Amino acid sequence: MKMALQNKNGKTHRRLVGSSILAFALLGAIGAANAQSTTAAQPAEIKADATYTTPSPFGPLKHVKAGLLDVAYAETGPADGPVVILLHGWPYDIHSYDEVAPLLAAKGYRVLMPYARGYGDTHFLSEKTVRNGQPAALASDVIDFMDALKIKQAVLGGYDWGARSADIVSALWPERVKALVSVSGYLIGNQAAGKNPLPPKAELQWWYQFYFATDRGRAGYEKNTHDFAKLIWQLASPKWAFDDATFDRSAKALENPDHVEITVFNYRWRLGMVQGEPQYEALEQKLATAPSISVPTITLEGDANGAPHPNPEDYAKRFTGKYEFRLINGGIGHNLPQEDPKAFAKAVIDADHL
């Protein structure tokens, strides 16, 4: 495993070359929304015996009622160990951590891997709840999950949507976060910035966001979820030679009846096409100020990440506590914990000891 290191003073052994345009593309696509959504469709009724997950290598999934959700999650490691919560991205699932979690458990950590809203066997407690995919809602789910399990503080790790949620929790509830590992760094932005047009090459990388903005795109994702997700995997990790079994294991989680609605809401929200719910207004106002993150943090980037992502030098100053950046070499793409589990697990352990 080869990596480049960068501390908060900017000293590096190797710089990650990236366009600041991508930073604006990513940061501008997320932010604050304040009004009640009027576009969410009524979800399908969930059958009691429904299952939208493949077996976990850590035994049967556990469930806990947390806030608006019945959260399905995997757990491994000693029950009395320091807690690590690992958050997955789109369109992936908790199997991204199948090899990370045992490495952490062997070091004495209690590792929890929850399915986000709209994935796997996690479902809403009420059919009347808006299937809201805005970032503040997903981050609030993490706090509700911790509260339900009576976890006062945890190390958070994530990539893609999971990194965004981990960043938000770290910024707004720093007392709940012992340390942070975030792939692609600082992913907190604001909805207003998303209104600004980008150069053509940057816009091209967000093609799926514009696709989801149309009724045809929503229908297409619902009809072709499996193939669509596989294409995203291939584009986001062009050098990752995953096999069909690996993909199919995670794609099962996308069969959740709320998945399409959550996905479309998230990307339409970023463009300001739908608005968030009033209960998240205060959080979104705070996030619109681009709050700094003060908890000990290690950010990671794969050297072959094909998904839109910001330049690490553009966000380094957002981390005001102990901080380190690592570039992970070897053709590592967007799903970094699954593509290089040793590097991700090492970052979690090291962040916890910064």
Phi, psi for 142 (deg, rounded to 5): -65, -45
64 close to 148: Cβ distance less than 8 angstroms: yes
Mean pLDDT score across all residues of the chain: 89
Burial class (CB in 10 A: 0-12, 13-18, 19+), 244: exposed
Query: Whole-angstrom Cα distance, residue 252 to residue 245?
Result: 11
189 close to 164: Cβ distance less than 8 angstroms: no
The radius of gyration computed from the CA coordinates of the chain, to the nearest angstrom, equals: 18
Torsion angle, alpha carbons of 44, 85, 25, 225, to 10: -30
Q: In the prediction, which pLDDT does 194 show?
A: 76
Query: Whole-angstrom Cα distance, residue 1 to residue 6?
Result: 16
Q: What mean pLDDT do residues 48-63 have?
A: 88
Q: In the prediction, which pLDDT does 81 show?
A: 98
Of 40-54, 145-159, 204-218, 278-292, which gets the smallest average pLDDT?
40-54
Query: Whole-angstrom Cα distance, residue 269 to residue 7?
Result: 34
- Evaluate if residue 84 carries a pLDDT over 90: yes
Q: In the prediction, which pLDDT does 198 show?
A: 87
Q: In the prediction, which pLDDT does 36 show?
A: 35
Beta strands in 136-280 (DSSP E): 154-158, 177-183
**pLDDT > 90: what percent of the chain?**
82
Q: What mean pLDDT do residues 132-136 have?
A: 97
Q: Confidence class of residue 43 from pLDDT cuts 50, 70 and 90?
A: very low
- Evaluate if residue 339 carries a pLDDT over 70: yes
Q: Confidence class of residue 192 from pLDDT cuts 50, 70 and 90?
A: confident
Q: Confidence class of residue 28 from pLDDT cuts 50, 70 and 90?
A: very low
- Say whether 333 sits in a helix, a strand or coil: coil
Q: Confidence class of residue 34 from pLDDT cuts 50, 70 and 90?
A: very low
- Evaluate if residue 208 carries a pLDDT over 70: yes
As a residue count, the chain comes to: 354
| Digit-coded pLDDT (tens) for 284-318 | 999 999 999 999 999 999 999 999 999 999 999 99
Specify the higher pLDDT residue, 155 or 25: 155
Q: In the prediction, which pLDDT does 17 show?
A: 36
Q: In the prediction, which pLDDT does 191 show?
A: 82
Eight-state DSSP code of residue 195: G
- Say whether 86 sits in a helix, a strand or coil: strand
Any alpha helices (H) in 213-340, and if so which ranges? Answer: 215-223, 225-236, 244-251, 259-270, 281-287, 312-315, 336-339
Residue type at position 313 = E
| Digit-coded pLDDT (tens) for 216-254 | 999 999 999 999 999 999 999 999 999 999 999 999 999
Q: In the prediction, which pLDDT does 5 show?
A: 55
Q: In the prediction, which pLDDT does 3 show?
A: 52
